[in-house]
């Protein structure tokens, strides 16, 4: 893999079911993502966008092809090694924030660091720093039920990037938000991504959000229909 690449797939296939009921969701996907690149994936419902993101994020297995993430052929990893790899290299943001309801915003954000066995004090300090970048310092000790949808999703983004992962994967992260909260969330995520040179891959139906990324891959019926550059600089302004 080229030193400038962080994600590479070759003829990646994902099939659900067997025999007559087999459904080829991904049909030989070959793509490459550069380190620090902000990439959007678009396409109609059922095109395979979320499936591809789950494979890149090591959340699902595939039947054939090659997947190399951050220099690692992930098919060679055991279940435990794969879990550790995800925690250290990949951050996730989903349409539903998936925050743990019994914990505060601060505790939710600190959780990935605690799983790495980082000290509670250091995890707390790092979490507070990230939360403050999203303007939510005064909400840090509130539980998800006490936060608005936009606040919960910003906390979810903070949790995804708190461990300074090399890759952040976002699956329709603004799907449940209004336009104002959507714009604020994406601008914050992309700004932090560029600041830390984090690779971001975002699945979206929004052409506006896609236009803010450097490149857009469009899937259709499990195949790459187009791969276009958007003219957005990878460097912060």
Quick one: average pLDDT of 171-195? 87
Which of 167, 131, 8, 21 is CA-nearest to residue 73?
8
> Domain boundaries in the chain?
36-61+76-229
CB atoms under 10 Å from CB of 195, counted, come to: 11
User: What pLDDT, on a 0 to 100 scale, did the predictor assign at position 97?
Assistant: 85
Using an 8 Å Cβ cutoff, are 171 and 94 in contact?
Answer: yes
Q: How confident is the model at residue 236 (pLDDT cuts 50, 70, 90)?
A: very low
C-alpha angle 54/59/60, rounded to 5°?
Answer: 80
Looking at the predicted structure, is the pLDDT value of residue 162 above 60? yes
* Through-space distance between the first and last CA atoms of the chain, rounded to whole angstroms: 30
The superfamily CATH assigns to domain 36-61+76-229 is: P-loop containing nucleotide triphosphate hydrolases (3.40.50.300)
Using an 8 Å Cβ cutoff, are 131 and 109 in contact?
Answer: yes
Quick one: average pLDDT of 2-14? 89
Question: What pTM value is reported for the model?
Answer: 0.89
> If you ran DSSP here, which 8-state letter would residue 115 be given?
H
Question: Chain-wide mean pLDDT for the chain?
Answer: 91
Using an 8 Å Cβ cutoff, are 212 and 186 in contact?
Answer: yes
Query: 3-state DSSP call for residue 21?
Result: helix
- pLDDT tens-digit profile of 22-65? 889 999 999 999 999 999 999 999 999 999 999 999 999 899 99
């Amino acid at each position: 893999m080229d030193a400038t690449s962080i994600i590479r797939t070759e003829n990646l296939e994902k099939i659900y079911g067997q025999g007559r009921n087999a459904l080829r969701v991904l049909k030989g996907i070959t793509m490459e993502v550069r380190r620090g690149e902000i990439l959007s994936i678009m396409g109609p419902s059922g095109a395979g966008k979320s499936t591809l993101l789950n494979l890149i994020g090591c959340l699902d297995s595939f039947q054939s092809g090659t997947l190399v993430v951050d220099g690692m052929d992930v098919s060679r990893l055991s279940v435990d090694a794969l879990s550790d790899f995800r925690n250290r290299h990949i951050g996730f943001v989903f349409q539903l924030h998936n925050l743990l309801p019994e914990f505060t915003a601060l505790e939710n954000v600190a959780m990935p660091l605690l799983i790495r066995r980082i000290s509670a004090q250091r995890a707390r300090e790092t979490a507070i720093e990230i939360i403050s970048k999203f303007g939510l310092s005064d909400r840090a000790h509130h539980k998800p039920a006490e936060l608005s949808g936009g606040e919960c999703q910003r906390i979810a983004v903070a949790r995804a990037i708190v461990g300074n992962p090399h890759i952040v994967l976002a699956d329709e992260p603004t799907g449940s938000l209004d336009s104002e909260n959507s714009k604020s969330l994406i601008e914050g995520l992309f700004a932090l991504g560029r600041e830390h040179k984090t690779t971001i891959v975002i699945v979206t139906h929004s052409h506006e959000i896609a236009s803010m990324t450097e490149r857009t891959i469009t899937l259709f019926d499990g195949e790459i229909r187009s791969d276009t550059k958007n003219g957005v600089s990878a460097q912060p302004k």
